[in-house]
Structure 1
Amino acid sequence: MNPYATEPDDIPPSDPYADLPLYGRYHRKQNDFRIDLRHVNSQSNEALSYWASVIDLCDENARIYPADDGGRDVFALGSIIVKSSHLHKQRSTIYGNIDFSYADANEIQAIAIAKSFLKDVKVPEIYFAGKIDGRQVLIQERLPGVSLAVAWPYLSQAQMESFKNQARGILRQMHSIKPTNTCQFRSYVVPDPKIRSNGRIQPLECDILFSDYNTDPDMSFMHNDLTDSNLIVDDDRIVGLIDWEMAGFFGWKRAGEVHRRLRPHDDSFWMDLYEPDKLDP
């Protein structure tokens, strides 16, 4: 099978994502849902009413990732991706209600940084981040292509090696971006003051990133969630990178430890992405 196929009719029943035709595969079409550009990043009453109407279109048929309690579902609606918890009852988790406003602010600022140096790899445009009916919502561009995780079963060994090398090239580009402020403590791009207690990240990740002396000699910009599901590919190239909410300034070794110990890997081939000897080309 063509790893980069996006049409549901081209996906065999044996495909791991055959029951989720909207997940990880997208090709723009004329009749796709498209947002009204007049309301992009607007918080006016008219805009909020419009974005609420968009949320109303996000039902279970459009959901591509169901969240646990306290999290946000992910929906694919034509040309956009929506993160929202509106299909869940409003209730507290053991951490209380998670405030995703810091995650969204971090994603917005991290994408702005990424745009400055990722010239051949696209990052999504953000169309809206704010409260709808008391819930934090993020609406962003849906990048054309196929998630590397979705394409993976159909790749040759040579293609797998090529994608790993391309991903390492992206990591090296990020590693060249240093913090602009004088503070050299590990941090997200937009620090979350309650990150240790609000349940956004696992306790182990919090310990890895923010315990001990909380600094690294090689602090640099890191995506911090560079899994195969967040890489968008087409025609043997990485063409997009999504989900920047965990990005921040961390050392290579520190980000690598998070990657190995906490990020999901369906294939052990991807676990050594941050090996120390891979920092240099």
Structure 2
Amino acid sequence: MNPYEANPDNIPPTDRYADVPLYGRYRPQPTDFVPDAKHINRTTPEALEYWSTVLAKCTESTRIYENQDGGRDVFALGGVIVKSSHLKELLQGRRAHRDYSYADANEVEAIALARTVLDGTTKVPRVYFAAKVNGRDVFVQERIPGVGLNVAWQYISQRQKTSFKQQAREILQRLRTITPTVETSRRSYVIPDPDPVEHRGIQELEREIIFAEDNKDSDLSLMHNDVSQSNCIVDNDRIVGLVDWEMAGFFGWKTAASVHTQIRTPKRENFAAINLPEEMLSDILFWNDLYDVE
């Protein structure tokens, strides 16, 4: 199986994601939906009506993630990814009333910063729309061609996995060259957020790691802060894109590393009762040491 196969018709039934063929795989086609340029990042009445028609195209058949907590679902619609809760008539659950505007604004600004150091090497998505439609936050961004690293993982060799980890580290090092434009001694999201637990749905532990008063690390470089395998888009043994920038901020290497190991990645002890073979367990934990560099 070609790990970078993106044609749903060629995905075998044994594939881990065979039941969601649009998830984590994309090859542009001439008939793909692309947004009307005159409505991109516009909120005029005409533009909002247009984006409402776009949401109407986002149905269960194009949904690649359903948020069971009342938050936004994710849809793959041709050349775009759409985040919206429009299929939920009533918003119920612990994320039902989450204000996404902080995270969306943060993603827009973080992408713009990242593009200054990654452009030409690793693609970041263009944002087409980030505003409310019918009273609910909607986010529309470019769908980067390729395959999610988590999707390709089942088919690639140990050598390829090691190479992808090194590439991710190099991307993080390039992002690290970006620092706040104003002098500050405090860690912050790119767009400051007064309550990230409420607005981003992060754990209290994550907020404590990032903003604890006893965290004296002076490194305030830009960190993506969620470099999971699913957010790395790969093709032909290269990381060609990095997505989902809503958690990005001026946190520095050590703080991002702590979030990565304590929040983003699985723990060995979580598998103690399963008695997995060491080779399988090592593969599950392989991404945990992403920030462990000299």
Q: TM-score if structure 1 supplies the norm length?
A: 0.94
Within 5 Å, give how 1:1-281 maps onto structure 2: 1-91=1-91, 93-94=93-94, 97-119=97-119, 120-198=121-199, 200-213=201-214, 215-265=216-266, 267-275=284-292, 278=293, 280=294
Counterpart CA distance in 2 for 1:255 and 1:69 is 26
Counterpart CA distance in 2 for 1:25 and 1:252 is 30
Distance 1:216 1:174, change over 3 A: same
Contact 2:69 2:95 in 1 (8 A): no
Counterpart CA distance in 2 for 1:126 and 1:256 is 27
Amino acid at match of 2:13: P
Counterpart CA distance in 2 for 1:213 and 1:197 is 23
- Quote the offset at 1:200 in angstroms: 2.1
- Quote the offset at 1:213 in angstroms: 3.8
Counterpart CA distance in 2 for 1:20 and 1:74 is 12
Amino acid at match of 1:220: S
Distance 1:96 1:63, change over 3 A: closer
Secondary structure of 1:176 counterpart: coil
Counterpart CA distance in 2 for 1:200 and 1:218 is 25
Contact 2:179 2:220 in 1 (8 A): yes
Contact 2:100 2:200 in 1 (8 A): no
Amino acid at match of 2:44: S
Secondary structure of 1:127 counterpart: strand
Counterpart CA distance in 1 for 2:129 and 2:58 is 15
Aligned residue pairs total 277
Amino acid at match of 2:16: P
- Quote the offset at 1:221 in angstroms: 0.1
- Say what the alpha-carbon RMSD is for the aligned residues: 1.6
Counterpart CA distance in 1 for 2:198 and 2:257 is 23
Secondary structure of 2:81 counterpart: strand
Counterpart CA distance in 2 for 1:121 and 1:185 is 29
Secondary structure of 2:108 counterpart: helix
Distance 1:66 1:264, change over 3 A: farther
- Quote the offset at 1:191 in angstroms: 1.0
Range with greater deviation from structure 2 (63-72 or 245-254): 63-72
Contact 1:127 1:141 in 2 (8 A): yes
Range with greater deviation from structure 2 (115-124 or 86-95): 86-95
Counterpart CA distance in 1 for 2:190 and 2:80 is 24
| Structure 2 unmatched ranges of 5 or more | 267-282
Deviations 1:110-131 (A, max 9, x none): 0000010003100000000100
Identity of aligned residues (%): 55
Contact 1:95 1:199 in 2 (8 A): no
- Quote the offset at 1:214 in angstroms: 5.2
Secondary structure of 1:150 counterpart: helix
Secondary structure of 2:117 counterpart: coil
Secondary structure of 2:118 counterpart: coil
Secondary structure of 1:116 counterpart: helix
Amino acid at match of 1:263: R
- Quote the offset at 1:262 in angstroms: 1.2
Contact 2:83 2:138 in 1 (8 A): yes
Contact 2:265 2:285 in 1 (8 A): no
Contact 2:71 2:96 in 1 (8 A): no
